[in-house]
Amino acid sequence: MINGERTIQRPLRWGMIGGGRTGQVGYKHRTGALRDGTYQLVAGAFDLDAERGRDFGTNLGVSGERCYATYQALIAGETAREDGVDVVSIATPNFTHYEITKACLEAGIHVICEKPLFFTVAECDEIAALAASKNLIVGVTYGYTGHPLVRQMAAMVAKGMLGEIRIVDMQYTHGFNAGDDTDASEAQVWRTNPATAGATFVLGDIGTHLYYLSEVVLPELKVEKLLCDRKAFIPSRAPLEDHATVLMHYDNGARARIWVSSVNAGNMGSQRYRFVGAKASLEWSDSHPDQLIYEVQGEPCRILHRGMAYLEEDSLALDRMGALHTEGLGDSWSNIYLWIAEAIDAKMRGDEAFLSTHRYPDLKAGTEGVRWLENCVRSAEAGAAWVDFA
Ligand code: NAD
């Protein structure tokens, strides 16, 4: 179980390129990286708008001199320092990934890059050679594959608990682009332009998550051939797609179907993975993220729960909350810590007006819990009698 204890020799000095105030994914990087103290955010070229990026970075606690106007300035500034960044995360639109990664590696900085990694396999191969020659790491943020139940699926497949894999059925869809792109956000505009998104829209945007996940769960299987049927239901997005179905044949004869779509109208986001073997199946869906359905042919269906001791060691090693709590509880704790920090800050500044409307679990909330307990005990000790709440 992960409990925040340090597992590396020292915290990494970390910088961000992109992921600024208006960026969609930047906060996911920061909450992921900063949670255990493994990374310390010390520098950034957060935004195309240099002034906004500087203002944002200093609000995050990065010193002004280390909030850079461009990624080139970040590389120059950080490599000139004794305490320069060890690693940067790249959370910029797709078309910039390759050039920024290359520049960072050439400067001796490890890289964590967003998906889809680059535009071509040739670029990936070139970067792999560069990283190897510099002895540097490149990581990719396929966020869902850190889930303990994904590791559980992989471990069960590896143990042969499903038998020979026959069918893979995966879905990642949402409906947020069901309408046209009039008034599209900055992030939607670059996603539907081949020059900035690359050769795909939803396949790269969400389909790559599924494909990597299938590789994590089924590392022994190799795709032999595939068929991709894609379409832009909103014509202005062509030649890129807002919907696609991919069929795949694996080297063991297994078949796969992958559905990705951003025009699944009314759908807030659905991920579903089903792996079917000759003996049994596993199914996970983000509508019940703590549960893994394990169905053995001819036996009652079982629901495996995240964090329970009967899971594989690989899965338990990734758990952060224990089975009693949902993983989302970590986000809730962060909010509570933030609210209390804001209250302390207001108290320090003497801002009683702020405090009069600010809501957080305060002393009164604690007191009411104690009062409720006193009433419960009074009732219980009276032989489970009704008592007036006092
Ligand atoms: P966005 O358009 O919302 O934000 C991009 C950010 O990068 C903005 O802050 C922008 O000012 C900044 N930026 C752009 N060019 C820059 C440059 N040259 N130097 C410095 N900053 C620059 O985009 P987004 O939705 O956050 O997506 C960013 C990347 O993250 C994309 O590759 C996308 O595919 C990926 N993404 C991944 C996930 C995931 O789950 N892993 C989720 C969303 C997005």
238 and 113 fall within a common domain: no
Ligand 1 neighbourhood includes 208 CB (under 6 angstroms): no
176 and 106 fall within a common domain: no
237 within some domain: yes
120 and 158 fall within a common domain: no
85 and 157 fall within a common domain: no
DSSP assignment of 292-354: EEEEETTS--EEEETT-TTS-HHHHTT-SS-TTS-TTHHHHHHHHHHHHHHHHHHHHHT-HHH
| DSSP-assigned beta bridge partners for residue 277 | 165
Question: From ligand 1's centre to the CA of 180, what distance in Å?
Answer: 21
Backbone angles phi, psi at 370, to 5 degrees: -65, -40
319 and 340 fall within a common domain: no
The residue contributing the CA closest to ligand 1 atom 44 is 25
pTM: 0.93
106: left (phi over 0), alpha (psi -120 to 50) or beta: alpha
152 and 280 fall within a common domain: yes
Looking up residue 51, the CATH number of its domain turns out to be 3.40.50.720
Ligand 1 neighbourhood includes 112 CB (under 6 angstroms): no
Task: Say whether pLDDT at 153 is over 90.
Answer: yes
| The pLDDT of residue 326 | 87
pLDDT digits (tens, 9 = 90+) for 267-279: 999 999 999 999 9
Ligand 1 neighbourhood includes 270 CB (under 6 angstroms): no
Ligand 1 neighbourhood includes 103 CB (under 6 angstroms): no
331 within some domain: no
The residue contributing the CA closest to ligand 1 atom 17 is 48
355 and 318 fall within a common domain: no
Ligand 1 neighbourhood includes 205 CB (under 6 angstroms): yes
Q: What percent of the chain has pLDDT over 70?
A: 100
| The pLDDT of residue 211 | 95
Question: From ligand 1's centre to the CA of 26, what distance in Å?
Answer: 7
Question: From ligand 1's centre to the CA of 45, what distance in Å?
Answer: 12
330 within some domain: no
pLDDT digits (tens, 9 = 90+) for 50-81: 999 999 999 999 999 999 999 999 999 999 99
Among 70, 112, 114, 211, say which to mutate for ligand 1: greatest number of ligand atoms within 8 Å of CB.
114
Ligand 1 neighbourhood includes 200 CB (under 6 angstroms): no
Domain membership of residue 125 as a residue range: 12-144+336-361
Question: From ligand 1's centre to the CA of 6, what distance in Å?
Answer: 29
328 within some domain: no
Question: From ligand 1's centre to the CA of 74, what distance in Å?
Answer: 17
236 and 135 fall within a common domain: no
Question: From ligand 1's centre to the CA of 255, what distance in Å?
Answer: 34
Ligand 1 neighbourhood includes 187 CB (under 6 angstroms): yes
Task: Say whether pLDDT at 2 is over 90.
Answer: no
140 and 154 fall within a common domain: no
102 and 229 fall within a common domain: no
Among 30, 92, 95, 205, say which to mutate for ligand 1: greatest number of ligand atoms within 8 Å of CB.
92
343 and 200 fall within a common domain: no
Ligand 1 neighbourhood includes 38 CB (under 6 angstroms): no
268 and 280 fall within a common domain: yes
CA distances from 89 to 112, 139, 141, 181 (A): 5, 9, 9, 29
1 within some domain: no
Number of H helices, E strands in the chain: 14, 13
**Ligand 1 atom at shortest distance from the alpha carbon of 191:** 34
329 within some domain: no
Provide the domain count of the chain: 2
| The pLDDT of residue 138 | 93
Looking up residue 241, the CATH number of its domain turns out to be 3.30.360.10
Among 21, 24, 177, say which to mutate for ligand 1: greatest number of ligand atoms within 8 Å of CB.
24
| The pLDDT of residue 282 | 98
Tokens matching residue 287? 């509508």
Among 25, 59, 70, 205, say which to mutate for ligand 1: greatest number of ligand atoms within 8 Å of CB.
25
DSSP assignment of 46-98: --SSHHHHHHHHHHTT--GGGB-SSHHHHHHHHHTSTT--SEEEEES-GGGHH
Q: Which residues, at least 6 apart from 112, have a Cβ–Cβ distance to it below 8 Å?
A: 29, 87, 88, 89, 90, 138, 139, 140, 141
Evaluate whether 270 touches 285 at the Cβ level (below 8 Å). Answer: yes
**Ligand 1 atom at shortest distance from the alpha carbon of 25:** 26
Q: What angle do CA 30, 152, 224 make, to 5 degrees?
A: 95
Rounded Cα distance between 107 and 101, Å, is 10
5 within some domain: no
313 within some domain: yes
pLDDT digits (tens, 9 = 90+) for 331-376: 888 888 889 889 999 999 999 999 999 999 988 898 899 999 999 9
| The pLDDT of residue 139 | 93
